[in-house]
């Protein structure tokens, strides 16, 4: 009970002190102004004097660093954000060194290599994504972002119309897209179409027909890579999906051509049989 009363007393004293320190009159006194004789000209002149008194090299570097820090909050792409962060930390570190703030100087000095390493990783990711869009269909660059999953013969990876949350890359074994009867060998992507469908639904059922291993990556991780890779990866996914749709269209045309040929042969056979019967 006493502890609660003591805590309440301490909080009240803190609030009273804060309210007293924030009084307009006390703030004006701290600024060197007379609360009983204050004018706009006197206030403006005093503020101008304070600004002039604080125009130092350290504060100028700190101001530039603050501008770059605010810029990082407004950026949507990761690469320019990291660059702005590095520049901002550099100016902050110089400002702290000039003003003698050792602890803050060490903080910003530590942030510089951290941002530099992350920037290097992002630039490598952008380069690999750009190479992918220019014809290099190797998925090696995506593997570090994926996790392993194994399947046995007869396992169903996903069914048509199921909710889609992952994309697969076959590593070993064989898999079958049942609706279209297409076998998926190692090195083939699966499930990328579900990433682009409006309701994220599977467009086919895939079954494991030979024990194998796949690598998977969630759609959430794909979105992260999309934004971090300066949108190059998004274009790559569109190219890959367009290629898959063209393959499916070509396969459909071949099926239609075979069906038409079979119907033509059947029709010719009937006409021949009818001719013989008439004769």
> Averaged over 126-134, what is the pLDDT?
63
> Averaged over 167-173, what is the pLDDT?
90
Residues 75 and 123 occupy one common structural domain: yes
Does position 18 have pLDDT exceeding 90, yes or no?
A: no
Residue 129: band (very low, low, confident or very high) from pLDDT cuts 50, 70, 90: low
Residues 149 and 227 occupy one common structural domain: yes
Residues 69 and 51 occupy one common structural domain: no
> Averaged over 47-73, what is the pLDDT?
82
Does position 2 have pLDDT exceeding 60, yes or no?
A: no
Higher local confidence (pLDDT), 15 or 189: 189
Find where tokens 């009363």 sit: 5
Q: Biggest alpha carbon distance in the chain? A: 127
Pick the last residue of a domain from 69, 103, 136.
136
> Averaged over 1-6, what is the pLDDT?
58
Pick the last residue of a domain from 108, 136, 164.
136
Q: What is the total residue count of the chain?
A: 279
Reference 142, options 176, 183, 171; nearest CA is 171
Residue 270, in any domain of the structure: no
Residues 106 and 94 occupy one common structural domain: yes
**C-alpha pair distances (Å), 180 with each of 6, 25, 45, 257, 265:** 76, 81, 80, 16, 24
Does position 136 have pLDDT exceeding 60, yes or no?
A: no
Residue 252, in any domain of the structure: no
Residue 267, in any domain of the structure: no
Residues 228 and 149 occupy one common structural domain: yes
Residue 269, in any domain of the structure: no
Residue 44, in any domain of the structure: yes
Residues 111 and 160 occupy one common structural domain: no
Residue 96, in any domain of the structure: yes
Kindly report the pTM of this predicted structure: 0.48
- Phi and psi, residue 149, nearest 5°: -150, 135
Residues 117 and 163 occupy one common structural domain: no
- How many domains does the chain contain in total? 3
Residues 101 and 148 occupy one common structural domain: no
Does position 247 have pLDDT exceeding 80, yes or no?
A: no
CA angle 87, 92, 95 (to 5 degrees): 130
Residue 23: band (very low, low, confident or very high) from pLDDT cuts 50, 70, 90: low
DSSP letter (8 states) at residue 142: G
Residues 154 and 227 occupy one common structural domain: yes
Does position 19 have pLDDT exceeding 70, yes or no?
A: no
Q: What order do you get walking across the sheet with 156-158 strand by strand?
A: 156-158, 206-210, 174-177, 182-184
DSSP letter (8 states) at residue 164: P
- The domain in which residue 145 lies consists of 140-232
Residues 199 and 164 occupy one common structural domain: yes
**C-alpha pair distances (Å), 16 with each of 2, 13, 98, 163:** 21, 5, 37, 58
Residues 115 and 158 occupy one common structural domain: no
Residues 80 and 148 occupy one common structural domain: no
Residue 253, in any domain of the structure: no
Residue 192, in any domain of the structure: yes
pLDDT for residue 76: 74
Predicted confidence (pLDDT) per residue in 65-104, tens digit = 999 999 888 887 777 888 999 999 999 999 999 988 889 9
Quote the distance between the C-alpha of residue 151 and its chain's center. 29
The set of residues, in sequence order, having a beta carbon less than 8 Å from that of 92 and lying 6+ positions away, is 61, 62, 65, 69, 104, 108
The set of residues, in sequence order, having a beta carbon less than 8 Å from that of 51 and lying 6+ positions away, is none
- Phi and psi, residue 159, nearest 5°: -110, 155
Pick the last residue of a domain from 55, 78, 101.
55
């Amino acid at each position: 009970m006493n502890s609660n009363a003591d805590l309440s007393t301490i909080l009240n004293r803190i609030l009273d002190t804060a309210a007293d320190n924030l009084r307009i009159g006390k703030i004006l006194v701290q600024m060197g102004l007379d609360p009983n004789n204050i004018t706009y000209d006197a206030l403006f002149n005093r503020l101008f004097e304070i600004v002039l008194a604080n125009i130092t090299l350290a504060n100028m570097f700190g101001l530039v660093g603050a501008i770059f820090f605010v810029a990082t909050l407004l950026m949507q792409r990761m690469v320019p954000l990291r660059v702005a962060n590095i520049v901002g930390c550099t100016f902050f570190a110089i400002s702290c060194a000039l003003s003698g703030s050792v602890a803050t100087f060490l903080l910003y000095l530590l942030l510089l290599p951290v941002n530099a390493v992350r920037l290097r990783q992002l630039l490598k990711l952008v380069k690999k994504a750009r190479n992918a869009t220019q014809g290099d269909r190797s998925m090696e660059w995506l593997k570090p972002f994926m996790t392993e999953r194994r399947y046995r013969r007869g396992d169903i990876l996903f069914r048509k119309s199921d909710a889609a949350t992952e994309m697969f890359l076959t590593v070993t074994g064989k898999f079958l897209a049942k609706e279209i009867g297409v076998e998926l060998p190692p090195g083939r992507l699966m499930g990328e179409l579900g990433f682009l469908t409006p309701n994220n639904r599977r467009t086919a059922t895939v079954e494991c027909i030979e024990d194998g291993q796949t690598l998977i990556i969630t759609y959430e991780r794909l979105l992260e890579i999309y934004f971090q890779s300066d949108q190059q990866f998004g274009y790559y996914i569109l190219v890959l999906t367009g290629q898959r749709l063209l393959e499916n269209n070509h396969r459909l045309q071949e099926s239609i051509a075979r069906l038409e040929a079979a119907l033509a042969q059947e029709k010719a056979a009937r006409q021949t049989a009818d001719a013989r019967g008439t004769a």
